[in-house]
Amino acid sequence: MKTRILSTRHLEDLAALLEADQVVALPTETVYGLAARAASRSAVERIFAVKGRPADNPLIVHAATPEDALSLGRHVPGYAARLADAFWPGPLSLVLESAVAWPWVQAGHDTLAVRVPEPDWLRELIRRVGPLAAPSANRSGRPSPTTAAHCLTDLSGRIPVVVDGGACPAGLESTVLDCTGAAPVVLRPGPVTAEMIAGVLAESAPGKRGEDGAEGGMPSGTGDAPRISGGPAASPGTRHPHYRPRARVILVAPGTRVQCSDCMIIAPAGGVGPGPATTEMGGAAAGVHLERRWHTLQELARNLYGWFREADRAGVSVIYVNEVARHGLGAALMNRLQKAAAHGDAEG
Ligand code: TXA
Ligand code: MG
């Protein structure tokens, strides 16, 4: 199959492909997704086959409006509705008790992850064809794609179309939040940070503004930060190897001097952040050495996966990455960096 490139204006063609149960790689505000109609078993099975995705890892369903997204859940807690109100459309996925029976999407769970993506054209497409299941459009275990070129590297010849919408603004996958309990639990940190979530819940906590707070509302005191899950069973996807370039990723403390031979360094530009800001290259470096410098965590997030892929193209054997402080977007970045740095088989 020859993979064609379309633009975000080709809504008719895209709708026709999806209605014919094809899969399409397309840009969202987070990363490129591999989308198919969620209601179609055969279309969604194609996603798993194309990606080489383990069958026990459920998919996120993308809806056109917050009402549509929440209608896919049952017993939606008040706090989830408030977060939807604050962050949708946007990079937050809510895990709800499922109101639909789409076992091909849910991978054996009775919950469903839903979100409303930001791009207008994408929500218009969803309005036409119905909710879309979409994991990141990489081959399983590879870094998520943040450009159309990354999608082609992984999936050319395996899918009919990649929609080229340029580079994704966030560059990291959505925050995944378990909303099936009395209080939310972060299963995967992302661009909507724990601090942002806590801020909205504190602001809208029942009683705070004399709001209802009755059924499904947050118990008092839940304006605190949402719990961050560390448990392996929390998000099915966390059991599988993830975000891993071919080169070995080594995390280093800021200011560390590394002997860079045949490597890439990813570090803040001089003067950024507390303490010694940069990772320095020492000695007479032999072989290829690449340096990628960033000024803000947003810039790091936007470029990280692309830099991983560049390192692989250049054939370097090691990528040294400066650790970042684990708050705000730093929590999501460190989560991905630690997965990238884990070696051996992360399964089981
Ligand atoms: O930003 C994103 O979320 C991108 C774009 C395309 O929307 N999608 C994405 O999907 O990153 P994927 O499949 O690569 O990652 C989804 C994560 C996985 O870790 C999966 O296990 C988890 O969400 N997940 C999906 N459904 C779940 C559920 N019902 N319960 C718990 N975790 C779930
Ligand atoms: Mg993924």
The pLDDT tens digits for 48-83 are 999 999 999 999 999 999 999 999 999 999 999 999
Q: Which residues pair with 35 in a beta bridge?
A: 24
Of 1-10, 90-99, 191-200, 205-214, minimum mean pLDDT range: 205-214
Our answer on whether the CB atom of 107 is closer than 6 Å to any ligand 1 atom is no
Taking the centre of ligand 1 as the mean of its atom positions, its distance from the CA of residue 236, in whole angstroms, is: 9
Length of the chain equals: 348
Q: What is the mean pLDDT of residues 19-28?
A: 98
- Has residue 221 got a pLDDT over 60? no
- Has residue 222 got a pLDDT over 60? no
What average pLDDT does the chain have? 88
Contact between residue 201 and residue 79 where contact means Cβ atoms under 8 Å apart: yes
Taking the centre of ligand 1 as the mean of its atom positions, its distance from the CA of residue 157, in whole angstroms, is: 24
Contact between residue 333 and residue 339 where contact means Cβ atoms under 8 Å apart: no
Burial of 82 (0-12, 13-18, 19+ CB in 10 A): buried
d(Cα 83, Cα 346) in Å, to the nearest integer?
32
- Has residue 216 got a pLDDT over 50? no
- Has residue 239 got a pLDDT over 90? no
- Has residue 231 got a pLDDT over 60? no
Q: Which two tokens stand for residue 243?
A: 């975000």
Query: DSSP secondary-structure letter at 27?
Result: E
pLDDT of res. 346: 38
Q: Which atom of ligand 1 is nearest to the CA of 173?
A: 1
Our answer on whether the CB atom of 229 is closer than 6 Å to any ligand 1 atom is no
Query: What pLDDT, in 10s, does the model give residues 263-301?
Result: 999 999 874 433 333 455 554 455 778 889 999 999 999
Our answer on whether the CB atom of 237 is closer than 6 Å to any ligand 1 atom is yes
d(Cα 23, Cα 37) in Å, to the nearest integer?
8
- Strand runs labelled E in 87-209: 92-98, 111-115, 132-133, 161-163, 175-178, 185-188
- Has residue 219 got a pLDDT over 80? no
Our answer on whether the CB atom of 172 is closer than 6 Å to any ligand 1 atom is no
| Cβ atoms within 10 Å, residue 202 | 15
pLDDT of res. 274: 36
Taking the centre of ligand 1 as the mean of its atom positions, its distance from the CA of residue 135, in whole angstroms, is: 6
Contact between residue 162 and residue 324 where contact means Cβ atoms under 8 Å apart: no
pLDDT of res. 82: 98
- Has residue 119 got a pLDDT over 90? yes
Q: What is the mean pLDDT of residues 9-20?
A: 98
Which three-class secondary structure state does DSSP give residue 194?
helix
Higher pLDDT, 183 or 241: 183
Q: Which atom of ligand 1 is nearest to the CA of 188?
A: 19
Tell me whether the omega of the peptide bond preceding residue 89 falls within 30 degrees of 0, making it cis: yes
Nearest CA to ligand 1 atom 18: 237
- 44 pLDDT band, cuts 50/70/90, is very high
Burial of 251 (0-12, 13-18, 19+ CB in 10 A): middle
Which residue is associated with the tokens 């503004």?
209
